[in-house]
Structure 1
Amino acid sequence: MNTSKATEAIDQDRRRLLGAATMGIAAAGAVSLFPSRLVTAPAGDAIRPFRVDVADDQLVDLRRRIAATRWPDRETVDDRSQGVQLAKLQELVRYWGTGYDWRKAEAKLNALPQFITTIDGVDIHFIRARSRHPNAMPLIMTHGWPGSVFELLKTIGPLTDPPAYGGRAEDAFDLVLPSMPGYGFSGKPTGTGWDLDHIARAWAELMKRLGYASYVAQGRDWGAPVSSAMARQAPAGLLGIHINLPATAPPEVAAVLSAGGPAPAGLSEKERAAFESLDTFYKKYRAYSVMMATRPQTIGYALTDSPAGLAAWVYDYNNGEPERSLTRDEMLDDITLYWLTDSATSSARLYWENGARGITIAAAQKTAEISLPVAITVFPGEIYRAPETWARRAYRNLIYFHEVDKGGHFAAWEEPELFSAELRAAFRSLR
């Protein structure tokens, strides 16, 4: 597609979608889109309205780069053991350059109340979706990598308006959905120190600025250790947390995983299955993690310059099968957000900031120091299925543990109603 035709197509898309931002969520009637008043904040702590408005020339440039992709030769095996298969990625990237429409994704975001506030010198972007039900519980939810706030959008209706999804009004939540520093429309730290503990403190500050006297927190992937760090720090008002990638691996398992040895003796059937899943992940699927934890700047050049490279890097996550639960458009909403915000490198630095602190290792995440209530849901398609025996060793105040029958690493995205039902059940005793 030449530049003039691409620009014309984009202009047509914009005109067609002009009214979408005011229709999407409002049509469902699930959320009060705009707060009745903007939160009053001290000087320097202002909360500013935010709207996504990507320039047309950025989209034209993206399509140009996609069309000019230089492809490698085909893999020499018939499976995914060497990485993302050429034919599969070509199909995704070609659709990205010809059929995908970013303006629809932009409209999804702009149909929701978005804000920016500056914390410790970094702009923090967040969505604030209020429930129409009285006494809704405030909940801050944290995404992971390679995710974004997109992975949480389908939970807004079920969480803010439970009766519309078979739940009870008294289980409703007011939602705060921030983009982590270096991700999406949040700012990029220009110095070191934005590790999990720093993000946890920033989230507590955000909830304070929003005027919440009490609230709960939820997270998966990096969001799980961020929520766990909040629970360790126990800021005023935090009642408890829910996580769906818990750090439960005990010391004897962590030692073997690190050394690459056989499973420890004496494991139960569920514990052995969990060990084998973790062992497979450590040996076959965490190369991306090692690279970003040690050389985020180096890999960042390729991810920032090549759309196909970025798509492959993100697509290979989740064992290279994200289409099991997500549509092409959903995957590309997320990938395009990383591209347009130039956040491949800045998001990768979170791995470097946290070094070897294993996300599933109890000691690495200092779970023994958490005294606040912890709730866990285990989804079958996760990196590993945390056994309840390990979970109770890791978290001394475990108030809820439940294994469900569907959903994976992106559970909120893949199974939003089931995920929302789990949060309602998990936090019910804390209301």
Structure 2
Amino acid sequence: MSSSFATLPNSRKSTPTPFTVAIPEEQLSDFRKLLELSKIGPKTYENELTDGRFGISRDWLVQAKEEWLKWDCFPNFTQPIKENGDVFNIHFVALFSQKSDAIPLLCLHGWPGNFLEFYSILRILTERYTPETLPYHIIVPSLPGYAFSSPPPLARDFQLQNIASIMNSLMIELGFGSGYAVQGGDIGSKISRVLAATFDTVKAVHINFCIMPEPEGVKDSDISEIEKQGLERSSTFKAFGSSYALQHATKPSTIGLVLASNPIALLAWIGEKFLAWTDENPPMDEILSSVTLYWLTETFPRSIYPYRQLFTPGLIGAHENPEWYIKKPFGYSFFPKELAPIPQAWAKTTGTLEFYRQHESGGHFAAMEKPEILLADVEEFLQQVWKPRI
């Protein structure tokens, strides 16, 4: 990524610190030793199957172990942000435009994702534009607890509202206090919703994930056949694929400590999601890059805290919560192999939906799987709804 995209806006309130990814050699050496010594369990009927019905296959795990540790580094920044008495150093990757009317766009990942999800989109933009012609300022942060950002505090609870406050403060510090747009998937879509409902600085929201129960008042005739297939997929996910979320929500301490103890265990837990939640299996190196990042930055136990708020039985979810109804311009992209793709009529009950696109392929990690398509959706949405700021 060209350093020419690193020139910050003159309107910034403070200057973030350039950040270089540098993992201590001792830590890398320990990782390789632990990886080499980690035993893969015996063959069983369940793990010999390759269709994913019982989880990850043993053969895939063996192959992944052999190919691990191909690593890419990109220009990064960190910015200290104060929130409720604590200071968080927030890591982010950015493409800054030199156009005076460039649209600030905050791109938010979820779990088990990270900032690497958006790298394909960043590459497309750097190939298509120069800093003088780039129509956007692209900001891709690591959420608190993920990768190189500070973890949640130890002495108090930490929820979506806290994350949203930090993300909004980050955008203001970077000089975008007059307004910015947000794009989010997975947990990032829920933070996007909280941002839109809470802060006037957020002017438009596009999401590609909107998991929710069936709303009242939607007729069956309002739902297309492909959307009905999506609802069937949602039912299957709820019955056979969502137990991980309950584990994260109800026993985050246990699963966090277990998966922080062994890289192969972490790979099995996260690798399964990349295989099951995508339309086509991602390249091995993309999965391993993400899992390596999680391991070397001790992300997993510090990253699953949102599940306590989002998936604990009896609590209302983010997307159906009337408190977080989106009153700003709102866009939704439907990818059929998403975990729980919802109909357009359902999405309309959660905000002022002004943009909807239905695609024939693509899954949960749209920014990684279908970067050209997701970028085109976001660009079309912004062209439709964005009004110049004074």
Task: Please give the range of the TM-score, normalised by the shorter of the 2 chains.
Answer: 0.7 to 0.9
Aligned to 1:17: none
Which residue pairs with 2:327 in the alignment? Answer: 371
Verify the 8 A CA contact 1:192 1:353 in the aligned structure 2: no
Cα distance 1:295–1:201, how it changes in 2: closer, same or farther (>3 A)? Answer: same
State the match for 2:249 in structure 1.
Answer: 293
Letter in 2 for 1:315: G
Report the CA distance shift for 1:129/1:210 in structure 2 as closer, same or farther (over 3 A). same
Contact (CA 8 Å) 1:303, 1:310: kept in 2 or not? yes
Contact 1:315 1:322 in 2 (8 A): no
User: How many angstroms does 1:116 deviate by?
Assistant: 2.8
Choose which of 380, 385, 389 in structure 1 pairs with 2:341.
385
- Offset of residue 158 of structure 1: 3.6
Deviates more, 1:212-221 or 1:320-329: 320-329
1:87 aligns with 2:59: yes
Tell me if structure 2 keeps the 8 A contact 1:215–1:238: yes
Do 2:181 and 2:204's aligned partners in 1 also have CA atoms closer than 8 Å? yes
Q: How far is the alpha carbon of 1:37 from its aligned partner?
A: 6.5
Contact 1:155 1:412 in 2 (8 A): yes
Match of 2:29 in 1: 60
Q: Which runs of 5+ in 2 are unaligned?
A: none
TM-score normalised to structure 1 length: 0.79
Q: Are 2:117 and 1:137 equivalent residues in the alignment?
A: no
- Which one of 81, 90, 99 corresponds to residue 118 of structure 1? 81
**Partner SS, residue 372 of structure 1:** strand
Q: CA deviation at 1:163?
A: 5.3
Please give the alpha-carbon distance, in whole angstroms, between the structure 1 residues aligned to 2:114 and 2:302.
13
Q: Match for 1:302: what amino acid?
A: V
Q: Is the 8 A contact 1:143 1:219 kept in 2?
A: yes
Structure 1 counterpart of 2:360: 405
Q: Cα 1:181–1:413, aligned 2, differ >3 Å: closer, same or farther?
A: same
Aligned to 2:144: 181
- Which residues of 2 match residues 30-109 of structure 1 at below 5 A? 32-35=5-8, 39-41=12-14, 47-77=16-46, 78=49, 79-96=51-68, 100-102=69-71, 105=72, 107=73, 109=74
Number of equivalences: 376
CA contact (8 A) 1:152 1:412 kept: yes
1:16 equivalent in structure 2: none
**One-letter identity of the residue aligned with 2:114:** S
Preserved contact between residue 249 and residue 305 of structure 2 (Cα < 8 Å): yes
SS in 1 for 2:354: strand
What's the secondary structure of 2:239's corresponding residue? helix
Task: Indicate yes or no: 2:174 matched with 1:240.
Answer: no
Q: Which amino acid aligns with 1:191?
A: A
- Alpha-carbon spacing, 1:321–1:238, altered in 2? closer, same or farther (3 Å): closer
Residue identity in the other structure for 1:193: D
1:425: which partner in 2? 380
Give distance in 2, aligned partners of 1:360 and 1:313: 26
Cα distance change on mapping 1:318 and 1:327 into 2, 3 Å: closer
Moved more, 116-125 or 87-96: 116-125
1:283 aligns with 2:239: yes
CA contact (8 A) 2:311 2:317 kept: no
CA-based RMSD: 3.0
Report runs of 4+ in structure 1 exceeding 6 Å deviation: 264-267, 357-360
Q: 1:253-274: CA deviations, max 9, x gaps?
A: 9xxxxxxxxxx98884455323
Distance 1:61 1:317 in 2: 26
Larger radius of gyration: 1
SS in 2 for 1:283: helix
1:325, distance to aligned residue in structure 2 (A)? 4.4
Contact 2:184 2:190 in 1 (8 A): yes
Structure 1 gaps, min length 5? 1-24, 254-263
Q: Of residues 206, 211, 214 in structure 1, which corresponds to 2:175?
A: 211
Select the structure that is richer in helix.
Answer: 1
TM-score (norm 2): 0.87
Asked whether the 8 Å contact 2:104–2:139 carries over to 1, the reply is yes
Inter-partner Cα distance in structure 1 for 2:161 and 2:185: 16
Q: Which has the higher contact order (CA 8 A, sep 6+)?
A: 2
- 296, 310, 330: which one aligns with 1:354: 310
Q: Alpha-carbon deviation of 1:358?
A: 9.8
